[in-house]
Structure 1
Amino acid sequence: ANSDLQAYAVGPWTPCSCYQQCMRGLRTRVVSCTAQRCREPKPAELEVCVCAHCAACEVNMRLMLLAGIYLAQALIAFLVFVCYLRATHGTEDDYIQLRIGQRISGFFNRMLPRLLKLLVLLQLFQVLWLFNDTWLSIYQFELGLQSASAMKDCWACLELRQGSLVALSLLLFQILMVACVKVQARKPDWLYAPKRVSGGFVV
């Protein structure tokens, strides 16, 4: 009978092996049978585990979103440059009958202000959230706020705190430059946009 057979000899588990702390990993142990047959079922030799010593600082997603926003802004700047380059090399005859590419670029330029405002708002939200996690969460944790306890170790990372300051400084500089350009920029005389009123247009 199976109950009369000798049990497997089971060794201790090895330390959990992970690629990164707080991630799932594996640990193993030696399971051997010193007789011809041993009692079934055979104990597991492999087991899923989680590496300990996790730092209470989870900002990877916010950093990835922030990097994505910067990448989107760079892509938009490149597309604007391409559209401007095409427009400067064209003549008036080229715009009598618009091609598909010109229509697409025109639609893109028309939606550009709204898209940039959305990206700046997302960037502002992410930067302020990151700044809160790296600079303010330690004080919130000391005050007993439970919502800040998950980020109390972000303060210990000097590079992360410096990065949040750089991101906040870049955002403030960007907003300041936009405000200065908006105040100083003058609409060209040839760029005429009539105001619509009831019954027609006002020149």
Structure 2
Amino acid sequence: MSILSNIKSVVVLPLTVSIAVITSACTATLTPEQQTFREEYLAAKKDYAVSGKLGIFDEKVKTSTLLNISVSRPDYTIYVSGITGTTLLKIRKTTSLTEITDDKGNIHTGSNAEELVYNLTGFHIPCDSLPDIVTGIPGNNPAHYRDDGTIESIEFSEFTVNYKNYMEVNGILLPKKIDIKGNNFLLRIAVNKWEI
């Protein structure tokens, strides 16, 4: 059975049910100076972790998994697991190597995380961009801001990231609900916990 089949069979809850447990959005307003400080602070932050739900939608599949991202810049680890906690994918990226452990414990290595994930699962997951995407750091990418000063969207070459709402953690606004939309896929991240 392929990883794609296992992801489909392990996940039994529809995304709309799993996201319904997420609490309401933070309604803060940021001045341009506060937003600049926020981005600089988060860009300089070396270690953080985020956990929540990941919805995956494409022409073949609509499913929900658990997502955990642990960052120690420039390295990161992404865990994708079923609702019951069964590991479906573990993606570990260092400066010299990408290592993916599949649901059978097999290890696949290479230099390009996105390509490895796509070859194994058929899913487009922008692994190398996720550490910046989850924090809402545009870097050199074009960003659009709301009237309240928060980032509404960031344009990447192959996808657009939309930030639906935020939560406040230790005085810093962090994304809570994120949509990553490409030509033939949609990833929906609903964050329930930040460690920063």
More strand by share: 2
Q: Which structure ranks higher in relative contact order (CA pairs < 8 Å, sequence separation ≥ 6)?
A: 2
**Could you say which TM-score interval applies, normalised by the shorter chain?**
under 0.3
Larger-Rg structure: 1
Tell me the TM-score normalised to structure 2 length: 0.20
TM-score (norm 1): 0.20
